[in-house]
Structure 1
Amino acid sequence: MDELRRKGLEKMNEVYGWEMPNVEGDPFFDLTVDHLFGTVWNRPGLSMRDKRIMTLTVVAALGNDALAEIQANAALGNEELTGDELKEMAVFLTQYLGFPLGSKLDGAVSKVIRKRKKAAERGEGEDKKANVDAALKMHSGE
């Protein structure tokens, strides 16, 4: 594995909050890991929290529930944002994106918070395998 791929996978794992396997031979995955995570997410100038807030804003604007859940879960897991801050983002963004998209983000955040609370009550962490499967599905275009 070359240095850019290693660096990209490390950042991807940090951003998503779990161990993403290296998928060889998929041009879209290569672009995602090498360019997006190996180069763009590793640029200086913005904190991880700043990048997470911008990413959540974009996925809210697009109405992408699955990616909103992945990003909210990682933000909580990496302690970049609290549940209250994520809920407040949904309220704030509703004023700019409209009620349907703001409420979708609020629903995704609420779902993640509920899942994490139930897992904590059972003495477990969040379901990382489900997150990895969702991310692989998202990146494969299914």
Structure 2
Amino acid sequence: MTDDRRRRGLEMMRQVYGWEVGDAPGDFFGITVDHLFADIWSRPGLSMRDRRLLLLGVLAARGLNDVLDIQIPAALANSELTAAELREIAIFLTHYVGWPLGARLSVQIDTLIAEHERKRH
């Protein structure tokens, strides 16, 4: 790990999540920041929005709603996806991930959009 790589990784985490992320101890955190965020999320070729769309699809397919609770608000806060686009994503993904996961995603999106709107006003 270099100081520059850690700085780049922490900055990318801030961009991805939409909040300030401080450095933390431990190998797992270090690998996450230095590799996933400094190297993978920072690669050219896909926009942040593209990466977010792919991640939302994977998370929905796996039923990882706790992580969707982080990614959906971040997409809204970063203006990567609109409320209408997120609702359309739920409709589209339902036909690939299955009705139970898709129905849960649709409710989750509506709930998180409502929370986002409350925070804005």
User: Normalised by the shorter chain, which TM-score bucket?
Assistant: over 0.9
Secondary structure of 2:59's counterpart equals helix
Normalised by the length of structure 2, the TM-score is: 0.94
Q: Deviations over 1:30-77 (max 9, x none)?
A: 111110001000000001110000010111011111211211101111
1:51-62 aligned within 5 A:
51-62=51-62
**Alpha-carbon RMSD:** 1.1
Q: In the aligned structure 2, how far is the partner of 1:23 from the partner of 1:111?
A: 31
Name the CA distance, whole Å, in 2 between partners of 1:20 and 1:108: 25
Q: Is the 8 A contact 2:76 2:116 kept in 1?
A: no
Which TM-score applies when normalising by structure 1?
0.81
Match of 2:93 in 1: 93
Structure 1 outlier segments of 4+, above 2 Å = none
**How far off is 1:100 after superposition?**
1.1
Aligned pairs, number: 120
Q: Which runs of 5+ in 2 are unaligned?
A: none
For structure 1, list consecutive stretches of 5 or more residues without a partner in the other structure: 122-142
* Equivalent residue number for residue 19 of structure 2: 18
Query: One-letter code of the match for 2:44?
Result: P
Amino acid at match of 1:67: V
Q: Which residue of 1 aligns with 2:46?
A: 46
